[in-house]
Chain A
């Protein structure tokens, strides 16, 4: 209940915008608007005698939950209805569902009961659930078995200790031969035990054959799993080609053999490699059976097949996927976005595949910018000598677009085409130079940056372009472009001997007003000119260096000091200054303009990780091809051992469905006869199964049914008390007496209601028991609570606070502090509020809304925001009740002054590289006794500071990233573990004070 008022609070905030519209919402009731005081009405309705009123109240509660309103105060009233006589409103106990899930003659009801049971998320029912799943997994109805497969991940997330038992169930269900089960069980497999690839062997061929008839969502899961499987079991079909490509290596091996060197291992490896490649028939089976799915209407299925072909098919066959992917480009823009990302990666590896579809990637003015940029990327990747002229003509129209971000991207693309294809370099360069006279500054700036890169390839030919650019320094203001021009002039000052000193003169004049990046380049230019043309520029250089000496930025001061030592000859000047010219005017290699999609294909295509270019949680690596093929006989299935249920299913299929969709051959006569035997077996096993499937039609049978069922429940559940059994009978009677509906469908109907009911009861409960969503995720421990006002000093009013680590809704620069009031007195406390905050300069406080009344014994929670200005100084204020005032202080631990940000490993390293020197603090430590394994380390660091983990490849390192709440400065933490519990903590942060304190806190947390 702790969060209740916080939620009310939230509602208060939004009510002004959202509420009026609910006036005409019949579900929430025109008369009843959703203020929380009106919950009394709902309570009344729930307590009333009329079932229709109760149902109406329930509906409204659903509507409230849907809007994220807190309805937890209604929970008691809802729970009271458990005892209600009407079965429609009352949900019975879990064990009851188990009964139904096992004994009911109708498969839909058995399945439905299992679904209800498995959506109750309470640990005490784990054994019951386990039992029910096991039973259901050997049910004769494939639909029930499918439900069992669905229940597996639910149980696993409830209690991961059940893994071994669940794997047994999965193994059993994997052997199932029906399409209904296949998708669901593979989904369970992927969630519970994706590493147990050995479970797939025996089922591989069957899965391949069933694939086309599995429902579409299951297809996606199965195809992705089989891609991984195939990578571990088959040989690389393109191995020979890659050998040819790496010609050097091949001759090395070849000569090796001719000379007859005796390294047997290597020779063996060689034989394998040189043997003409024959595709494993199972590998071929997979490719053949997935190909038709390229025609699916479901984009996810098409993408799954495309990635399978990309990762597994011989080069010559991959082409078939291009057409299907191009078709997806007609779909919704979100689908386009994902498909284009993947096409961009594919075009780097296999350009030829998409070349015929070049025109499908042409850009329309109505495309969203993010789609335009991706299409541009694809077009650039597709450019080669033959099509470059059409592509460039197309680019020319893009440059005139009104969308300036897109124009900038086009200029980059032109630059990349020019570097990749030598023939058009001059044409591109001329085109870009024309853009320098464009009216839009961003366009000019982008062109300058790209021209700079291009010129570096052959500067001697283009001194006139450099001259032209020198002129631009008068007008262009974008710092990056100015810096680029200055660098160019400095680098090639020999080509423009007259202009360069003049540019320096102008720059010296405006030095103090330039951006840092430009200042650095001015220093650079000065140094280079001093070295080549000291007569003209000596004084200018000295002047610039003097200005830089007193600059605010220490980077610039450092650079000035360094340059002065290096170039200005003094008596003390060291050995290095002799080489100054070589240092500054060394020949620099031309930059390589690369696609950002290069090397992305080490992630499985189509995956979330590929899209983000960072490993997402739960991502399964795509393994490399094996050197030699593992034994293919593991996939042999000796005798087709039909499970009884599946043969039954098959027979049913044959009766109902004349037109077979799957062209599964070969299960005709023999199965039929075997089936009857199985049938009798079943009869022995369960009394229920003798009933034909559609027996539930007549009323009389219905009665018989209920009586058998109740008697059975009595005999089965001896442990249950008599009263319970009686109640159950009553309930069952009420079905057969009160309703004229057919028995089976009614029971189904009721179960369905219960399921919806359970799910929203769970929603109700979760709302009140987990105030913080992140607390549920494994990386974050419980929140630390601090005392604001002790019970005794507060004269009965106790106040605690904690840092909830949620973004403060009103202001992103504030830390949200959750404050909990407990009234331990006998009288109610009134008008609790904040008074007279005494704050350090710059600090701000967003007070919580006044609490009108806090009744005795009650707890209330509010959230307030404080902007601590990135310092650990305390915020002082007074807490008032209607009678008293208390002086209180909130002092934040340094770790709460930051918020997590998401970063990839590469970004992390890049940012870290920019925060070296004074900004880096490193400490060694010995890890504490209980601090073993990176899991514990992660948990401790995250509980100390509000950071998020950066995914990372090495097991010895953990990285975390965040930024300070007020100024947004980056905070990067690296923990490296070594042998013998030794470890090292590194913090990179621009704010040194924060860095130092954070290191201290983390050290303490880790060495405990």
Chain B
């Protein structure tokens, strides 16, 4: 299925290649570079590019293109999903997935790729199994390896591959048994000029960090499971129990994993936690424009709105801005015309505002578009949908684990049109 993989950095150099069947010359990437040149933005390179003898399927993550070469029919999503899984694994192993990290660990990267695909077909993609096969690099191990000449290849038998719960490694032992769950919700919204909501949705995930010994069997139940409209599970979740009782029952993988992602039905009205008052005008004939922006909290159930960051792509005609923030700092890049304002925490008593003027190109006509405002924020200890975990129980092991649940609400793709 997948023939070869090329890693291309942002300056267009191929810095790693791996072939699973026969060697495909790197000149095949010329077609990719051609497409890259045609695309105005890096993310506009088409994910699938046909060439006379091959097809190139690529993903862009961390400013690295992962270009897979395939020769015959295969579902494109299959390849794309796999490539993303590769990136996730690299990130898991090296902490970051950058060109430098990959080059530093080229042997581990090669070993990983060798295990993840067999003859072009995915073999071991579960992080728990991979870690059994290949130990993630640590400083100590790197030193030892250099001295003794040994490698990172695991010395234990990877029995996980044989297990019926392939996502969990065997023989896990911890002195402190802990299980943490983070309920994180993101609000995607488009707000129009007048402040009314055009579309708003809540997408949530439950990320878990489970460090429990042995083979624990967990169940997690919600106070209000009906809220969840559409869910997707980690393979460990027993689907039948969910269908019948709306309970999450699972044997967790060891370490960090995403247990569940969900979508709160759009029928429910979504509470929008911030509002924006704006006045951005350009006058015909003058080379000045006015810029006024005020943020305020609403429907936050008394919780503080934190880490607020406002960004906006101003029209090309804007030369510079002269603004005055009531709090935080702002930057304006005159080349990309990107304005960003790091607001910090919103104080309901004294609303943050950003006011001032924009200078336009002299003589140019007034821009006919108004910029969109993108907002990021965080609200701790609250799930905006109102989702609440009822209880978490453990079966199958004797010890008493420490359990913790945290809630958080964030802005996803939150846009205000002006």
Q: Which residues of A approach B to under 8 Å, CB–CB?
A: 14, 17-18, 21-22, 25-28, 50-53, 55-56, 59, 62-63, 66-68, 106-108, 115, 118-119, 121, 141, 143, 150, 153-154, 157, 184, 187, 212, 215-217, 220, 224, 292, 295-300, 302-304, 323-324, 326-327, 330, 332-335, 337-339, 359-360, 362, 364-366, 368-370, 394, 397, 400-402, 438-439, 606-609, 611-612, 614, 616-620, 653, 656-659, 661, 663, 741, 744-746, 748-749, 752-753, 755-756, 759, 763, 766-767, 770, 772-774, 776-777, 779-780, 806-807, 809, 900-902, 948
Contacts and interface: CB of A to CB of B under 8 A. Distances in A.
Which residue of A614, A756, A779 has the most chain B CB atoms within 10 A of its CB atom? A756
Given A150-B118, A359-B198, A745-B155, A334 B47 contact: yes
Contacts of A292: 239, 243
B162 A143 contact: yes
Contact of B17 (A18, A68, A333, A902): A68
B43 A400 contact: no
Nearest to A292: B239
A107 B162 contact: yes
Interface residues of B, number: 120
Interface string B347-372: 00000000000000000010011101
A673 to B, nearest CB: 22
B203 A330 contact: yes
Interface centre among A121, A334, A360, A901 (most CB of B within 10 A): A334
A440 B41 CA distance: 21
A752 B72 contact: no
A68 B81 contact: no
B19 interface: yes
Contacts of B27: 773, 806-807, 809
A450 B47 CA distance: 30
B73 A900 contact: no
Interface in B58-75: 58-61, 70-75
A746 B153 CA distance: 11
Nearest to B118: A150
B239 A212 contact: yes
Nearest to A407: B369
Nearest to A765: B23
B123 A659 contact: no
A365 B50 contact: no
Given A26-B104, A612-B55, A661-B238, 9 more contacts: A68-B26, A215-B166, A216-B235, A330-B203, A368-B43, A612-B48, A749-B154, A806-B27, A900-B52
- Nearest first, the 5 closest Cβ-Cβ pairs linking A and B are A52-B149, A618-B72, A948-B52, A359-B199, A900-B52
B76 A611 contact: yes
B156 interface: yes
A756 B41 contact: no
Nearest to B259: A297
A327 B230 contact: yes
Interface string B230-245: 1111110011100100
Contacts of A335: 77, 80-81, 84
Contacts of A611: 48, 76
Contacts of A439: 365, 368
Contacts of A366: 374, 413, 415
A397 B417 contact: yes
B103 A21 contact: yes
Interface in B385-405: 396
Contacts of B162: 107-108, 141, 143
Contacts of A14: 13
Nearest to B77: A300
A745 B132 CA distance: 12
Nearest to B396: A658
Interface stretch (B105-113, B271-279, B293-301, B326-334): B105-113
Nearest to B70: A608
Nearest to A772: B25
Contacts of B217: 658-659
A359 B266 contact: yes
Nearest to B20: A759
Contact of B77 (A108, A184, A295, A303): A303
B138 interface: no
Given A157-B21, A184-B121, A661-B238, A27 B165 contact: no
Contact of A612 (B19, B43, B50, B59): B50
Overall SS of chain A's interface: helix
Contact of B149 (A55, A141, A438): A55
Contact of A902 (B50, B58, B80, B198): B50
B125 interface: yes
A25 B53 contact: no
Contacts of A26: 104, 142, 146
The winner among B109, B119, B368 for most chain A CB atoms within 10 A is B119
6 contacts: A53-B149, A66-B17, A118-B119, A212-B239, A304-B75, A332-B59
Contacts of A620: 73
B229 interface: yes
Contacts of B177: none
B163 interface: yes
A752 B133 CA distance: 9
Nearest to A21: B103
A744 B316 CA distance: 67
B382 to A, nearest CB: 21
A150 B123 contact: yes
A17 B11 contact: yes
Contact of A106 (B18, B109, B157, B417): B157
B310 interface: no
Given A616-B55, A807-B27, A63 B76 contact: no
Q: Identify the interface centre among A51, A154, A370: most chain B CB within 10 Å of its CB.
A: A370
Nearest to A63: B106
Given A220-B78, A608-B48, A748 B72 contact: no
Nearest to B42: A368
A216 B72 CA distance: 21
Given A108-B157, A108-B158, A56 B149 contact: yes
B121 A150 contact: yes
A28 B106 contact: yes
A106 B17 CA distance: 34
A908 to B, nearest CB: 14
B229 A323 contact: yes
A236 B61 CA distance: 43
B123 A370 contact: no
Contacts of B249: 659
Contact of A22 (B103, B123, B166): B103
B141 interface: no
B343 interface: no
B173 interface: no
Contact of A67 (B15, B71, B107): B15
A297 B234 contact: yes
A168 B130 CA distance: 33
Given A28-B106, A359-B199, A618 B73 contact: yes
Contacts of A617: 71-73
Contacts of B14: 68
Contacts of B365: 439
Nearest to B66: A334
B46 interface: yes
Given A324-B230, A337-B47, A745 B156 contact: yes
Nearest to B103: A25
Contact of B155 (A663, A749, A777): A749
Contacts of B122: 217
Residue in B142, B155, B217 whose Cβ sees the most chain A Cβ within 10 Å = B155
Nearest to B198: A362
Nearest to A771: B25
A394 B156 CA distance: 59
A27 B106 contact: yes
A369 B80 contact: no
Contacts of A224: 75
A749 B153 contact: yes
A74 to B, nearest CB: 16
